C-alpha cells in the first residue's frame, strides 16, 4: 500500500494548528533518539525540551532558568546552557542568533542547518525544511569556499500578523 504523503505546511507555526500533535511528535522523537543512542533522558533534559516545545517562540537561557527554578530544579546558568548544548547537539533545538534565544527543532533527529522565518510582531518562528529553502551562491564562490554550516534567519511579518494589521486599519 502506498503511504499517503501529507504535505506539511511550513508556515503552520504561525497559525492555529494541532499543537498537541507537534508536541507529541517531537517528544516521541526525542525519547526514541535517546533510547537508540543510549543517552540519558533525565528529568532536567525532559523539562527543558518540554519548555522549548510549549509554543513556537524562542526562549532565552535565563527565561528557561526562571521556569526551571519555579519547578524546583536547580537553576544556575550552566544548568540551562548544558542542557541546551545537549539538545542542539542531538538536533532537537537550535539557537536563534539574532535573539540569543533557543527554539525546539521542527525537523528533529539529525544535525542540519536550518532556515528560520521570524515574525517580528508575534515573535513566532517557523523552521523551513531544506527542500523549501535553498541558498544559491554563484559558482565562483562555491568553488572557493567549503561550506560547513549556515545561519539563515529571515525577519519579517507572518501572514496572521499581516492580516490583523489590515483589519485594524
Partner DNA sequence: AAGTCAATGTTATATTATAACATTAATTTA
Partner DNA sequence: TAAATTAATGTTATAATATAACATTGACTT
Stated as kind and residue range, the H or E segment containing 86 is helix 77-89
Q: Which is nearer to DNA, 18 or 100 (CB)?
A: 100
Stated as kind and residue range, the H or E segment containing 94 is strand 93-96
Residues 81-110, interacting with DNA (CB under 7 A) = 81-83, 86, 95, 100-101
User: Torsions phi, psi of 118, nearest 5?
Assistant: -120, 120
Determine, following the binding rule CB under 7 A, whether residue 40 of this chain makes contact with DNA: yes
Can you say how many angstroms the Cα of residue 8 is from the centroid of all Cα atoms in its chain?
16
Write out the three cell numbers for 42.
Answer: 533525565
What is the DSSP code (8-state) at residue 36? H
State the binding partner of 151 from DNA, its own copies, none, CB within 5 to 8 A by kind: its own copies
Determine, following the binding rule CB under 7 A, whether residue 51 of this chain makes contact with DNA: no
Nearest to 101, CA basis, from 59, 52, 67: 59
Positions touching its own copies (CB under 8 A) are 9-11, 14, 97-98, 115, 117, 119-120, 126, 128, 131-138, 140-141, 143-159, 162
Stated as kind and residue range, the H or E segment containing 104 is strand 101-104
Question: Which 3 state secondary structure label does DSSP give 141?
Answer: helix
Q: Which is nearer to DNA, 12 or 98 (CB)?
A: 98
CB of 67 to DNA, least distance (A): 13
Q: Which is nearer to DNA, 76 or 150 (CB)?
A: 76
Residues lying near DNA in the complex (CB under 7 A): 39-40, 42-45, 60-62, 73-74, 76-79, 81-83, 86, 95, 100-101
Amino acid at each position: 500500500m502506498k503511504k499517503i504523503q501529507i504535505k506539511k505546511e511550513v508556515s503552520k507555526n504561525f497559525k492555529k494548528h494541532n499543537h498537541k500533535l507537534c508536541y507529541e511528535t517531537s517528544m516521541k522523537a526525542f525519547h526514541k533518539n535517546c533510547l537508540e543512542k543510549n543517552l540519558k533522558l533525565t528529568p532536567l533534559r525532559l523539562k527543558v525540551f518540554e519548555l522549548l516545545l510549549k509554543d513556537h517562540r524562542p526562549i532565552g537561557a535565563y527565561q528557561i532558568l526562571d521556569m526551571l527554578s519555579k519547578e524546583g530544579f536547580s537553576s544556575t546558568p550552566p544548568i540551562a546552557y548544558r542542557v541546551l548544548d545537549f539538545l542542539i547537539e542531538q538536533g532537537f533545538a537550535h539557537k536563534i542568533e539574532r535573539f540569543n534565544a533557543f527554539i525546539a527543532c521542527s525537523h528533529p533527529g539529525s544535525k542540519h542547518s536550518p532556515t528560520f522565518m521570524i515574525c517580528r510582531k508575534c515573535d513566532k518562528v517557523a523552521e523551513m525544511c531544506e527542500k523549501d529553502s535553498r541558498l544559491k551562491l554563484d559558482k565562483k564562490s562555491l568553488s572557493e569556499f567549503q561550506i560547513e554550516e549556515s545561519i539563515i534567519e529571515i525577519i519579517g511579518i507572518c501572514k496572521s500578523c499581516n492580516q490583523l494589521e489590515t483589519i485594524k486599519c
